Amino acid sequence: MLKMTPLNHVHRDMNAKMVDFGGWDMPLHYGSQLDEHHKIRQDSGMFDVSHMLPVDIRGPQVRDFLRHLVANNVDKLTLPGKALYSCMLTPQGGIIDDLIIYFLSETWFRIVVNAGTADKDVAWMLKQRDQSAPQLEISPRRDLAMIAVQGPNARAKVWQVIPGSQSLTEELKQFQSAAVGQYFIARTGYTGEDGFEIILPAADAPSLWKALHAAGVAPAGLGARDTLRLEAGMNLYGQDMDETKHPMESGLTWTVDLKSERDFIGKNALLNTSTTHHLVGLVLIDRGVLRSHQHVVGHKDGSEYQGEITSGGFSPTMNQSIALARMPMQITIGDEVNVIVRDKQLRANVVKYPFVRNGKIMI
């Protein structure tokens, strides 16, 4: 039996193409994945991300607990509503999950984790809590829904629909949030465009979705979400990172704080691990489509280096095939490599991602 978000019947009423996504019944598209992609790059669109899980952690010393739990440093969070992107690691330095942490007060932090890893994440948090901070309350919030509204006109559309939201959220910078009544509105996203992610009571989600749609916000499904995040150079858990890879070989070095004296789970392993591979961008020169798991071969100084595409696909904005690939450190930006596609070697340029941000091609 597939799990359903509070918006499931709304998606079906809008004739969405529904698919099994990690055990969740989710919309793939509402007619045209391509149109949905362009709508978000040029105007505004919305995603149901209620399959993701907000987890509230409350109690004394919650900051100390998070200092040890995650690789980034929560001491960066000093302003209520501020958010931090981080990874939660195994003792060996592998990535259990990537997540966003919101600082609400010294006794209340909110963490949003991925749908596919939610049960594993909560179990890990509870295990660490029981060992070091049994006084903390860890509460998965399946009573909440999440709607992401993205695009250059997304914020204006949200202000139009949610009374009083403009005055409370207009001055928010990226990775800041504010409470608007029972709505928790964060200026975050997974598309490379501006916008909000809204956490709200599950019962209120259908009415907000319909109001946004009436205001001209296009519904968008998993297909457009994936092409948008790939263009934006954003990792997908299970493809670009997992427990077998550490952040430095997954393009996430910037999310790890090794400078402070604090200890965190996985720190010792990272300090004693040499990074042999890194994540790079690829833009295909020849005709074809790049896909995950395709083999990549590069040559440098007379030696051959082999890697693999972690995420790939067609970029609607660039009208080219692009990819993220894990390659040996010797292969760098500006090199040309060959991607093995159906026993053919297709040429691709190694580039610095993101490929597209805020509607602009960056390559």
CA distances from 52 to 91, 111, 163, 236, 347 (A): 25, 10, 26, 13, 37
Q: Residue 304 corresponds to which tokens in the numbers above?
A: 């051959």
pLDDT at 300: 94
Whether 141 and 54 have beta carbons less than 8 Å apart is answered as yes
pLDDT at 203: 98
| Residue of 144, 59, 72, 181 lying closest to 109 (CA atoms) | 59
| Residue of 208, 160, 156, 157 lying closest to 182 (CA atoms) | 208
Whether 357 and 327 have beta carbons less than 8 Å apart is answered as no
* Strand-pair category, 218-219 with 45-48: parallel
Nearest-angstrom CA–CA distance, 178 and 181: 10
Mean pLDDT value of segment 73-90? 98
Nearest-angstrom CA–CA distance, 345 and 311: 18
Mean pLDDT value of segment 190-216? 98
pLDDT at 299: 96
212 by DSSP, 3-state: which? helix
Mean pLDDT value of segment 47-69? 98
CA distances from 27 to 142, 159, 222, 348 (A): 19, 25, 6, 32
pLDDT digits (tens, 9 = 90+) for 291-347: 999 999 999 999 999 999 999 999 999 999 999 999 999 999 999 999 999 989 999
| Residue of 5, 188, 222, 219 lying closest to 101 (CA atoms) | 188
pLDDT at 363: 92
pLDDT at 202: 98
- DSSP for 137-166 reads EEEE-TTEEEEEEESTTHHHHHHHHSTTHH
The rounded mean pLDDT for the chain is 98
User: Which H or E run includes 224?
Assistant: helix 222-231
172 by DSSP, 3-state: which? coil
Q: Is the dihedral of CA 134, 135, 141, 143 positive or negative?
A: positive
- DSSP for 230-293 reads HHTT---BTTTB-TTS-GGGTT-GGG---SSS---TTHHHHHT----EEEEEEEE-SSS---TT
Nearest-angstrom CA–CA distance, 234 and 230: 6
User: Which H or E run includes 351?
Assistant: strand 344-351
Mean pLDDT value of segment 142-164? 98
pLDDT at 65: 98
Quickly tell me which residue has 């596609």 as its tokens. Answer: 341
Percentage of the chain exceeding pLDDT 70: 100
- DSSP for 3-64 reads B--TTHHHHHHTT-EEEEETTEEEEEESS-HHHHHHHHHHS-EEEE-TTSEEEEEESTTHHH
Neighbours of 203 (CB within 10 A): 10
Domains in the chain and their CATH numbers? 8-49+143-231 (3.30.1360.120), 276-361 (2.40.30.110)
| Residue of 305, 225, 242, 246 lying closest to 71 (CA atoms) | 246
pLDDT at 142: 98
pLDDT at 88: 98
